[in-house]
Chains A and B, each alone.
Chain A
Amino acid sequence: MSTNPSTSTAFDTARAEGRAALVGYLPAGFPSVEGSVEAIKVMVDAGCDVIEIGMPYSDPVMDGPTIQAAAQQALEGGIRTTDLMRVVEAVAATGAPTVVMTYWNPVEHYGGSRRTGRSGVELFAADLASAGGAGLITPDLTPDAGGEWIAAADEHDLDKVFLVAPSSTPERIAMTTAACRGFVYATAVMGVTGARTTTSDLAAPLVARTRETTDLPVGVGLGVSNGDQAAEIASYADGVIVGSAFVRALLDHPDDLPGGLRALRALTEDLAAGVRRA
C-alpha cells in the first residue's frame, strides 16, 4: 500500500487558492535520463503542480511530431523502463505528485514478465508505488480493457487516470470517470498531441459533460502552449495539462541543456501565471 500523495491533493490545493492546477509533461530520458530529471525539477520549481513523466514507446499513436521526436531520441539513447522508475523516484522526492503516462505494452512487459512468470502489470504497480509515483495515465487503455491495471492500481493505492474525448458518448464518459482516481484527463481536440495556436471549442463542453458524472478534478490537455491559452482553459477546468510545448522548449536548444532549461523555466512561469489569471 503506498502512502504517496494522490494527484487530487494538488488539485485540492489549487482549488483552495481559487485557481487551476498546472500539469506538466516530459518524457523520461529526454534529452537524457539525468537531463530529464533536471528539466522536470525546473518545471516543479517554476510552478508545475503535478508532473506527468512519459515512458517513451516505439509506437506512440496518440503523439504528434514533437513528442515523437523526443521519445525517439530517448529510445535511441537507450532508455529502459527501469530508468523511468529512477526518474519517477527523483521527481517524486520534490514532493510534487508524479504520475507516469505510458502506452500499455511496456506495462505488461515490465520486469521481463515472460521470464519471471509474474504479471508485469502487478510488478509495475508495486515498483511505481515504491518509487513514490502517484499513478498512471493510460492513453491507449480504456477502463473496459483495463481490468488488470485497475486491480493492480487499487491494490497499490495508485491513481488511475483515464481519458475522455469530444467523441465520447455520455455512457462512456460515465463509465470512464467511475473508473478514474486522482483526476480525469479530457482531451481538448480530436487529434494527437502537439502545440496549437488556438484553443479548442470542443474542450469546454467536454468538461461540462464530464463534470455531470463526477466530482473528480478534470484536467484539459492537447494543444496548450502559452499562458493565455492556459488562462482560458483555467476558466472552466480544474487543471491545464501541457506537454508538447515543454518538449519543444528543449528541442529548440539541441546540445544546450542550460539554454533549454532557461526556456523551460520561462515557459513554466508564463503558464503558471496563466492558470492564476483566470
Chain B
Amino acid sequence: MSDTQVSRYEADELGFFGEDWGGRFMPEALVAALDELTDAWRDAMADPEFVAAFEKICREYAGAPSLLYHAERLSAQVGARVLLKREDLNHTGAHKIRNVLGQALLTQRMGKPRVIAETGAGQHGVASATAAAYFGLDCTVYMGAVDTRRQALNVARMHLLGAKVIPVESGSATLKDAINEALRDWVASVDQTAYLFGTAAGPHPFPSMVRDFTRGIGDEARQQCLDQYGVLPDAIAACVGGGSNAIGLFAAFLDDDSVEIHGFEPGGDGVETGRHAATIHAGDTGVLHGARTYVLQDEDGQTVESHSISAGLDYPGVGPQHAHLAAIGRATYAPVTDAQAMDALALLSRTEGIIPAIESAHAIHGGLEVARRLGAERGPDATVVINLSGRGDKDMGTAIEWFGLGDPDKVTAEPVGDPDTDPRAEDAEA
C-alpha cells in the first residue's frame, strides 16, 4: 500500500474529502479549539505511546479485538459465508466505546478536565459517561427532551455513571438540537472542555479523528478474515447513521479494490413516504453541523426532521467521508426500512441466538441481501462481513411494542413475532 493510494481517501489540510465534502463551516470562536484539537490528535496518533495506551484500554477495558463470527445457519440460508463482526460484545454494548475511549484519552493528554457530549438514543451518552468515569473527567451530556423521555433507562445509566444530563427543548428537541446545544456550551467553555463528538460527522477534524478511533473494527476484521479464511471478503456491510461504525469498518478496506463496500441507511417508513433518514440516498448536498455533506432539508436549506425506528440512526446529516465515498462510487448506500430491520432483528435472534441493536439490524438486512446475490454469482465461499455494531438490550422496549411481546396475559406456547411476517400487516388484517 503506497502513500498515494492511502491519500486518495484522506481529507486535505482543511478537512475536505475530495475537494467537496467536509471542511469546517464553524463560528470563528471555535476555530482555535478545532485547530488545537487537530494538532493534538495528529501529534497523538504519531506518538507510539499514545497509540499503545489506546490499544491497551481497548483490549483490557473494552474487550477488543471483537470476535469475527461465522454465522453458519444464516450462511446456509443465504448461500454465502456470512461473518459477523461482534462489536455488540464490547463493553457498553456497541462500537461507540472505541471512539469515546480514544477521545477521552486525548482529552486527558490535552489536560482538559471536562467533557461534553450529545446523544440521541443515549448510547453515545452512556459511552461518554463511561469513559469520563474511567478517566475521572467531569461529564455533561446534552440530550433532546423528546429523547430523554423515550430513553429513560439510558438517562438513569448516565446518572449512575456520574454524568449530568441536560434535556434540550429547542428546535425539534432531538439529536440535531442536542448537537447544537453542545456546540453552544463548547463555544463558552473551550478552555476547559473537550467535545466528545459521537459520530464521524461534524467539522474537521471530527470525521477523520472519529474514524481513526473506530478503524480498529475494520483493521481487526480484515486480519481476522485473512487469518481464519485465507481470503479478503467479497463485500462488507454496515449501517450508517452519522457513520462511525461504518467508516470504522470501511477504512481498512478502501484500498482493496476487490471488496464491495455497502452502507445501509435508515429507510424509516419507506423513502417514498418522506418519513426516513436515508440522507445519502435521498438527501441533497448542504452544510450541517460544520461539514458539507448530504442533508435532509427543504427547498430553503432548513433542516427537516428525520424518521427512523432506530434512534441511533435518526439523524438528518451524515459523515462527509461517506458522502465522498458515495460520490466517487467507492461505496454504495441503500435504504433499509423499519420493517425490514425489525424482521432482520427477529431473524438473527432466532437463527443465531444474537439479539442485535436495531441500528445493526439494518446492516443485517442489507448485508444478507448482498450475501444472497454474491452467493448466487460466486458460490457458497463468497464472503460477506457485516458489522454487528451493537446489541439489542437497549431496544427491548421498541421490540416489545413492535412484535407485541412481553404482555404477561398473552404468554403463548408459540413465540410471537414470526420473522417472516410484518406485524403491521397482521394488524391490518385483524
Residues on A close to B: CB < 8 A?
A: 57-65, 68, 72, 75, 80-81, 104-110, 112, 114, 120, 139-142, 144-145, 162-169, 172, 176, 187, 189-192
Contacts and interface: CB of A to CB of B under 8 A. Distances in A.
The number of chain B residues touching the other chain, given as a range, is 35 or more
Nearest to B26: A140
A54 to B, nearest CB: 14
A59 B176 contact: yes
Interface in B256-315: 284-290, 295, 297, 299-304
B46 interface: no
B180 interface: yes
Contact of A167 (B29, B184, B297): B29
Contact of A81 (B28, B171, B286, B300): B300
B25 A140 contact: yes
28 contacts: A57-B302, A58-B171, A59-B171, A61-B27, A61-B180, A68-B170, A72-B170, A72-B171, A81-B301, A104-B25, A105-B286, A105-B301, A108-B287, A108-B301, A109-B297, A110-B301, A112-B299, A140-B287, A164-B28, A165-B29, A167-B28, A167-B30, A167-B33, A168-B29, A189-B188, A190-B188, A191-B184, A191-B188
A264 B286 CA distance: 36
A75 B302 contact: yes
A101 to B, nearest CB: 12
Given A58-B302, A64-B184, A167 B284 contact: no
A145 B289 contact: no
B405 interface: no
Contacts of A192: 184, 187-188
Interface in B203-243: none
Nearest to B171: A58
B190 to A, nearest CB: 7
A104 B300 CA distance: 11
Interface of B: 14, 23-33, 170-171, 176-177, 180, 183-184, 187-188, 190, 284-290, 295, 297, 299-304
Most buried by A among B30, B171, B301, B304: B301
A208 B183 CA distance: 27
A181 to B, nearest CB: 17
Contacts of A107: 301
Contacts of A139: 27
Most buried by B among A65, A145, A172: A145
A66 to B, nearest CB: 12
A139 B287 CA distance: 13
Contact of B300 (A61, A106, A169): A106
Given A190-B188, A191-B188, A168 B287 contact: no
Given A58-B302, A61-B180, A110-B300, 19 more contacts: A58-B303, A59-B171, A59-B177, A60-B180, A61-B184, A62-B27, A75-B302, A106-B301, A108-B286, A139-B27, A140-B25, A145-B23, A166-B29, A167-B30, A167-B33, A168-B31, A190-B29, A190-B187, A191-B187
B25 A141 contact: yes
Nearest to B204: A145
Contacts of A172: 28, 31-32
B187 A62 contact: yes
A59 B295 CA distance: 12
B110 to A, nearest CB: 15
Contacts of A60: 180
B29 A187 contact: yes
Contacts of B176: 59
Closest 7 CB pairs of A and B: A109-B301, A165-B29, A191-B188, A167-B32, A105-B301, A106-B301, A58-B303
Contacts of B295: 105
A143 to B, nearest CB: 9
B303 A59 contact: yes
A64 B180 CA distance: 10
A114 B284 contact: yes
Nearest to A106: B301
A142 B15 CA distance: 14
Given A144-B14, A190-B188, A106 B28 contact: no
A163 B27 contact: yes
A142 B303 contact: no
B14 to A, nearest CB: 7
A192 B297 CA distance: 24
Nearest to A79: B300
Nearest to A82: B300
B28 A142 contact: yes
A163 B23 contact: no
B171 A167 contact: no
A107 B79 CA distance: 50
A146 B290 CA distance: 13
Given A114-B284, A163-B27, A168 B32 contact: yes
A167 B303 contact: no
A10 to B, nearest CB: 23
A240 to B, nearest CB: 19
Contacts of B299: 109, 112
Contact of B28 (A75, A108, A114, A168): A168
